[in-house]
């Protein structure tokens, strides 16, 4: 046995060796493929000036960085240095308009037809479904220069594998044709004719081809192009590929074939005098013949052996060797693979054991669901309960019947589709479904369809149903995910282990960062090599797949409804469809919906829902797979994306390239930290929840089984009084909506309880991913700590830690916070708890019938109950400070968005309002605003205002909180009104019909009272908004010449130049977080594609066909998105630092959780990370990034003449430098709007440019409207606001002058179309920073509390 110290030394040596073969983190890392030949600009990485410390990607280790334990101040120093250095940018070109194309654009943003062809090609290759058809598509794509970068080496290898397998199993009589195709394709790769290089898998496949079809084999194929093992060995050694890597590739699935290939290569190596290769192959064979020995001190069991096949075995004296001595351990390929995986990844990347229960859970989810449904049906039959009257109400029974019918129906339906497509003389790959329907068996397709449709019930704001388009997409995507999961399971890939907490050098040092990068790249390469190539499906394909499956389900799924005839009193039975398709109007638009039969929705709120849950919706029983790439992490086999983004190919491209460049290692590490926190179910709280649920009563937001609010009574004067009829209609509508919401809420709670019940007694984990702004969310949607109060009350940490003196104090403070007493000082909160100790004991011991139910009056009742039980248990333990606590304790930010704004702008007043400054007791900006509003309302009520009188005494902190919070995010009056209306309805003391009027009144008053309360934040918000507006109006410099070309109408006439300019405005706002994550705002103009399905015509957005950006949305969303990216960064920094110090950590955005005993440590870390973040000149870096990222982008002068945009730019301090000639040219167009912005200079470099191909500004054709009758030079007139006046004649007199000004504006925009300004020159100067020092928060007790 190797000593443990030696083993550790060996691991370190092996890891060091594996890293020596890795590229530097700043280089592009990819498998040999066409991606390496992509245009260099696709992977551009701009470096900004920065200090040499810490050189986290490029330099050598920082002097004095010793790593190890006790890192405290050293780790913070590393973090500060990391944040102060320049973050590398991931820069990609903006997408081209849909009527333009380029090789780079096709590489970054493949169009849907190409994606469809790739998907069809892959589906035809799967299980050798239709290899000739796949070959046709492949040949067509290879001839297309626009898609050459998409066809990587793994695609070519897939065809080599298919050709060899077809020759071996499916068409052995035509094997010579298929093997010839394989060798031809190999030579194309080897010679580099199509810029694709062979990989280890390529050589493994060709060795298999030679082994099976050489002249001495059982099925010889004589080809001059075939290479023998010696030539193949020489070729892959020349490419630096290891022989063992070739032998252990997944395509060599037979141990006997692997052994034969080793012998062939060994013989070739001997002939070529390659001693190193002979040694390596000998070791590989020896390892493969060893049986694993996990227990070194246990006597060995003799392995199963077989007779050697060596002829004429004799001893030295010439006597025959006895047969029992000529035996050997059979070669086992799995032994060799397992060993080499451990060696190449140095045992620190792959664990020795993969949790069997989690694997089983993910591997056989649908099979288990089928078996359970079948089992329950059989139990009914065995017990003699086959009567429909006894079984009619069972949701599981219905689902089993649907499953049987749908499986049979799909077999017939798929056969019909296959026959129909086979008859097509000229099949279109983009419209073929048969290959995809063959990917998964009909039985599994049927269950996927049923589970997805049941899961979507009540989604998208549709009561008792779902949107048709959403259902079709979800079912299609579920089929795609299941197929890809099957591919992962089939290859038996080992699961990489998590990195050590902070590594040996912390996360932020140079060595620590490179360690993260090297581990991830190594593991990602291993996973990629182990998986088969798969292609993404397009939205259209998903819809078409979903249409076939959902339509089939609706045809066969039925339920039996029973009712009593009111006249005869007899029971009436009728078989009805379980689902129906209908339309409803939403905001004036016709919307297709799929509705569930009322009896099905009724059962959904009552029955066991375990069968409707897929493992990707459940917690994990082991630590999630570390994130290795954009779609590699989280669940073991079910594919998950590391980022949630909707219809944004641009965001996906940025994330993929940032991963390739090694820019997002800390983001992946942060997600791994969040996902590795162990949880368990709080059994005591669960018992109370289950008792309330089974009672069917309403309690603490658990909805009742029967809606308990009375239906409004119809007034007697309903038919005569219009007002009474209107009031009744509003109340009835609200009642029906509340009833529907009650049912939806009950279904949601049902899911939570079922999942909690399933995981009782288990330790589980919640894998996390990000939204596009970088905020982290648990992937399991139903039960997680970001959920509602019930979800949080059911969860606790799996790891227990002693409270300690400070922990006991924090437990009491936490209880006061949950109850709602969170604005007093800490001492007052502790006193509050001690004063209510009797209520706390009563709540913990008698939470329901016999108790006073004090906990139910809390703001967060279920969390309050959980804390009451924990505090009582600690106090009754005999040693409260030694009590082992598992309850998460929260530290919440105060209006966290405003905290970031105050720190960014150095705003002393804003900092005081949100507890950044040191105070004796917490500030509460929400209560401050509520008091101001109350005073205004009371004044209006005293004047007789009816609406104000209804609101007197009813404006609490809660009513105004959301509006105040979102003011700094740019909330509008409409948004504020909707927020306040929801709060007023929740209060229940204002009549339904008055909620709209009162919320409208109150929204105006709240926004008025806020006024200049957040003046410092407003200045930064304005700067961010202006930058976003400029970016959304910009055009890349290389697109200017095309931008000023007139667009041709179909009938032959030309459109105005401005229309083409607007089409070229494709630049989205992109920025990089301090952790290196590129964020792309996805807001573009709606562009939908019409898809005809069996159910209805569906309109879906095509993410592969980008449209022009939505400038208004880009600008309004940028300030809140930027602040959200900062609070996400702060959370990630805190999570990483807590992991480095061994502190358990969880978060809900700006609410950070840990054990009570760790609160003081975490509080210090929260403050340190916030200070480090805001000491790194965030806005200065953002300005520098914009100027670097958009250095070559130009803004059309005409696009600046929109509303008050020029005035805002002037106010912000923007100046346009122009030469005297350029200034005169602009003036000659008869516009003076630019005068306040223009600085005329003969020496300074002008900001104004024109495309080189444009005529000069003095060209009369540009300075005067065109007289060409085929040119439309009259763009739509701008709508101008006309203020009402009591003087009608004055308005009439001004009409002519207004028309002249409007016409002048139209002409000016047209004639300015060829004038552009450099975008960096237009970026306003940063707002002046105040004198607040962010280090002050170290003295603030209530910054996070």
Per the CB < 8 A criterion, the answer to whether 1317 and 1021 are in contact is no
**Dihedral sign, CA of 265, 270, 276, 279?**
positive
Which residues, at least 6 apart from 1049, have a Cβ–Cβ distance to it below 8 Å?
Answer: 1055, 1272
- Which of 810, 811, 801, 814 lies closest to 882, judged by CA? 801
Alpha-carbon distance 354 to 637, whole Å?
Answer: 12
Please enumerate, as own/partner, the contacts of 961-967 that have beta carbons within 8 Å and a separation of 24 or more. 961/926, 963/1003, 963/1006, 963/1007, 964/895, 964/925, 964/926, 964/929, 964/1006, 964/1010, 965/895, 965/897, 965/898, 965/926, 966/1120, 967/1007, 967/1010, 967/1014
Residues 1134, 1137, 1142: CA angle, nearest 5 degrees: 120
Distance, in Å, from the CA atom of 1276 to the CA atom of 1303, rounded to the nearest integer, reads 11
CA distance 202 to 533: 13
CA distance 928 to 984: 19
Measured CA to CA, the distance from residue 546 to residue 1078 in angstroms comes to 33
Give the CA dihedral 136, 141, 143, 148, nearest 10 degrees.
-150
CA-based torsion, 226, 232, 236, 238: positive or negative: negative
Structure tokens at 1255: 């005529």
Task: Using DSSP, state whether 1153 is helix, strand or coil.
Answer: strand
CB 1059 within 8 A of CB 1275: yes
Question: What is d(CA 101, CA 98) in angstroms, rounded to the nearest whole number?
Answer: 8
Token pair recorded at residue 1244: 């300074």
Q: Which helix or strand (DSSP H or E) is residue 304 part of?
A: none
Specify the DSSP element, H or E, that contains 462: none
User: Cβ of 658: how many Cβ atoms within 10 Å?
Assistant: 23
Instruction: Evaluate the CA torsion angle 593, 594, 600, 605 in order and state its sign.
Output: negative
CA distance 180 to 1268: 62
Distances (CA, A) of 1246 to 821, 1214, 1238, 1253: 61, 14, 10, 19
For residue 1120, how many other CB atoms are within 10 A of its CB? 18
Catalytically annotated residues: 892, 961, 1150
Bridge partners for 781 per DSSP: none
Contact 1168, 1328 (CB under 8 A): no
Q: What are the backbone dihedrals phi and psi of residue 1269, each rounded to the nearest 5 degrees, phi first? A: -70, -20
CA distances from 1282 to 29, 814, 1289, 1295 (A): 60, 56, 14, 10
* DSSP designation for 1079: E
Phi-psi region of 587 (alpha: psi -120 to 50; beta: other; left: phi over 0): left
Whats the size of the chain, residue-wise?
1345
Measured between alpha carbons, how far is 112 from 1092 in angstroms, rounded to an integer? 17
Q: From 670, 614, 694, select the one nearest 453 (Cα to Cα).
A: 614
| Cα gap 226→164, rounded to integer Å | 13
């Amino acid at each position: 046995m190797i000593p443990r110290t030696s083993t550790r030394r060996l691991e370190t040596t092996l890891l060091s060796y594996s890293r020596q073969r890795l590229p530097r983190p700043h280089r592009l890392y990819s498998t040999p493929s066409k991606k390496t030949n992509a245009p260099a600009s696709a992977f551009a990485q701009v470096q900004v000036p920065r200090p040499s410390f810490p050189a986290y990607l490029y330099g050598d280790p920082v002097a004095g960085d010793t790593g190890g334990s006790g890192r405290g101040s050293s780790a913070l120093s590393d973090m500060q240095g990391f944040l102060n250095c320049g973050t590398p940018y991931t820069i990609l070109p903006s997408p081209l308009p849909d009527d333009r194309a380029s090789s780079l654009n096709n590489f970054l943003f493949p169009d849907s037809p190409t994606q469809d062809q790739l998907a069809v090609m892959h589906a035809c290759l799967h299980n050798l479904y239709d290899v000739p058809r796949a070959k046709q598509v492949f040949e067509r794509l290879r001839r297309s220069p626009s898609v050459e970068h998409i066809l990587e080496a793994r695609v070519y290898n897939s065809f080599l594998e298919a050709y060899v397998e077809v020759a071996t199993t499916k068409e052995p009589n035509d094997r010579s044709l298929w093997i010839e195709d394989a060798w031809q394709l190999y030579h194309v790769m080897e010679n580099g004719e199509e810029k694709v290089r062979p990989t280890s898998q390529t050589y493994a496949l060709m060795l298999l081809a030679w082994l099976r079809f050489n002249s001495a084999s059982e099925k010889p194929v004589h080809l001059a192009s075939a290479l023998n093992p010696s030539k193949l060995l020489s070729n892959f050694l020349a490419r630096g590929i290891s022989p063992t890597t070739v032998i252990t590739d997944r395509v060599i699935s037979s141990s006997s074939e692997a052994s034969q290939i080793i012998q062939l290569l060994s013989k070739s190596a001997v002939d070529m005098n390659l001693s190193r290769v002979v040694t390596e192959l000998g070791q590989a064979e020896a390892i493969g013949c060893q049986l694993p020995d996990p227990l070194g001190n246990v006597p060995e069991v003799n392995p199963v052996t077989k007779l050697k096949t060596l002829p004429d075995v004799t001893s030295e004296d010439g006597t025959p060797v006895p047969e029992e001595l000529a035996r050997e351990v059979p070669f086992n390929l799995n032994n060799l693979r397992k060993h080499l995986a451990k060696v190449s990844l140095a045992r620190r990347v792959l664990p020795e054991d993969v949790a069997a229960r989690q694997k089983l859970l993910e591997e056989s989810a649908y099979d288990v669901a089928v078996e359970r449904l079948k089992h329950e049906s059989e139990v009914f039959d065995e017990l003699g309960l086959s009567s429909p009257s006894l079984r009619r109400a069972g949701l599981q029974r219905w689902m089993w019947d649907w499953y049987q019918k749908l499986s049979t129906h799909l077999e017939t339906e798929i056969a019909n589709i296959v026959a129909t497509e086979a008859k097509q003389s000229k099949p279109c790959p983009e419209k073929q479904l048969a290959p995809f329907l063959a990917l998964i068996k009909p039985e599994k397709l049927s269950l996927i369809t049923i589970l997805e449709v049941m899961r979507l019930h009540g989604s998208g704001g549709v009561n008792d149903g779902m949107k048709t388009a959403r259902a079709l997409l979800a079912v299609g995507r579920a089929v795609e995910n299941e197929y890809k999961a099957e591919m992962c399971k089939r290859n038996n890939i080992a699961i990489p282990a998590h990195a050590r907490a902070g590594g040996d050098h912390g996360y932020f040092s140079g060595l620590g960062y490179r360690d993260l990068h090297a581990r991830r790249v190594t593991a990602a390469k291993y996973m990629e090599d182990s998986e088969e190539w798969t292609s993404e499906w397009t939205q259209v394909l998903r819809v078409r797949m979903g249409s076939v499956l959902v339509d089939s389900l609706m045809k066969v799924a039925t339920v039996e409804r029973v009712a009593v005839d009111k006249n005869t009193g007899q029971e009436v039975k009728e078989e009805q469809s379980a689902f129906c398709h209908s339309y409803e109007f939403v905001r004036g638009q016709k919307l297709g919906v799929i509705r569930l039969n009322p009896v099905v929705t009724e059962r959904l709120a009552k029955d066991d829902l375990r069968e409707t849950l897929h493992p990707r919706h459940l917690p994990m029983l082991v630590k999630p797979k570390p994130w290795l790439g954009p779609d590699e992490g989280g669940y073991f086999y079910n594919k998950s994306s590391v980022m949630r983004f909707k219809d944004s190919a641009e965001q996906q491209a940025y994330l993929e390239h940032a991963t390739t460049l090694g820019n997002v290692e800390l983001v992946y590490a942060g997600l791994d930290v969040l996902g590795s926190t162990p949880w368990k179910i709080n059994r005591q709280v669960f018992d109370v929840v289950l008792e309330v649920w089974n009672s069917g009563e309403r309690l603490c937001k658990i909805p009742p089984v029967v809606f308990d609010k009375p239906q409004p009574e119809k007034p007697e004067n309903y038919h005569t009084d219009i007002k009474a009829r209107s009031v009744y209609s509003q109340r009835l509508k609200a009642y029906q909506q509340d009833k529907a919401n009650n049912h939806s809420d009950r279904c949601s709670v049902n899911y939570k309880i079922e999942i909690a019940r399933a995981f009782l007694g288990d330790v589980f984990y919640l894998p996390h991913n990000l939204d596009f702004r970088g905020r982290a969310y648990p992937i399991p949607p139903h039960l997680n700590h970001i959920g509602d109060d019930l979800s949080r009350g059911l969860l606790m940490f799996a790891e227990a830690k002693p409270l300690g003196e400070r922990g006991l104090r924090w437990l009491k403070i936490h209880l006061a916070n949950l109850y709602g007493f969170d604005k007093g000082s800490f001492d007052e909160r502790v006193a509050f708890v001690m004063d209510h100790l009797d209520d706390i004991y009563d709540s913990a011991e008698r939470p329901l019938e016999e108790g006073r139910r004090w906990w139910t009056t809390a703001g967060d009742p279920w969390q309050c109950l959980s804390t009451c039980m924990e505090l009582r248990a600690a106090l009754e333990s005999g040693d409260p400070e030694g009590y082992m606590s598992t309850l998460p304790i929260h530290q919440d930010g105060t209006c966290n968005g405003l905290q970031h704004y105050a720190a960014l702008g150095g705003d002393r007043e804003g900092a005081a309002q949100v507890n950044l400054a040191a105070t004796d007791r917490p500030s509460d900006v929400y209560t401050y605003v509520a008091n101001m509003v109350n005073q205004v309302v009371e004044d209006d009520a005293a004047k007789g205002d009816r609406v104000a009188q209804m609101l007197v005494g009813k404006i609490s902190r809660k009513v105004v909180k959301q509006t105040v919070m979102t003011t700094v995010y740019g909330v509008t009056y409409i948004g504020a009104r909707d927020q306040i209306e929801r709060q007023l309805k929740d209060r229940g003391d204002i009549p339904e019909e008055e909620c709209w009027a009162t919320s409208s009144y109150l929204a105006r008053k709240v926004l008025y009272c806020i006024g200049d309360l957040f003046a410092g934040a407003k200045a930064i918000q304005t700067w961010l908004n202006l930058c976003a507006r400029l970016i959304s109006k910009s055009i890349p410099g290389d697109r200017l010449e095309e931008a000023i070309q007139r667009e041709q109408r179909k009938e032959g006439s030309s459109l105005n130049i401005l229309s083409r300019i607007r089409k070229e405005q494709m630049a989205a706002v992109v920025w990089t977080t301090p952790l290196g994550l590129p964020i792309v705002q996805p807001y573009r103009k709606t562009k939908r594609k019409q898809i005809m399905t069996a159910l209805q015509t569906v309109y879906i957005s095509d993410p592969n066909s980008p449209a022009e950006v939505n400038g208004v949305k880009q600008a309004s969303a940028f300030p809140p998105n930027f602040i959200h990216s900062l609070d996400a960064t702060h959370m990630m920094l805190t999570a990483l630092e807590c992991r480095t110090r061994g502190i358990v950590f969880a978060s809900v955005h700006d609410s950070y959780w840990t054990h009570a005993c760790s609160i003081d440590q975490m509080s210090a870390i929260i403050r340190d990370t916030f200070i480090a973040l805001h000491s790194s000149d965030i806005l200065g870096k953002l300005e520098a990034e914009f100027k670097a990222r958009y250095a070559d982008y130009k803004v059309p002068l005409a696009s600046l003449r929109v509303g008050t945009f020029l005035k805002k730019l002037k106010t912000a301090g923007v100046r346009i430098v122009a030469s005297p000639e350029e200034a005169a040219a602009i003036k000659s167009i008869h516009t003076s709007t630019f005068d306040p912005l223009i600085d005329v200079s003969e020496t300074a470099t002008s900001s104004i440019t024109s495309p080189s191909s444009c005529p000069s500004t003095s060209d009369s054709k540009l300075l005067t409207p065109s007289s060409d009758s085929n040119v439309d030079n009259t763009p739509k007139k701008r709508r101008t606001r006309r203020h009402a006046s009591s003087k009608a004649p004055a308005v009439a007199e001004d009409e002519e002058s207004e028309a002249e000004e409007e016409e002048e504006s139209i002409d000016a925009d047209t004639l300015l179309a060829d004038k552009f300004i450099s975008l960096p020159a237009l970026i306003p100067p940063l707002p002046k920073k105040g004198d607040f020092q962010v280090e002050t928060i170290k003295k603030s007790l209530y910054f996070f509390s």
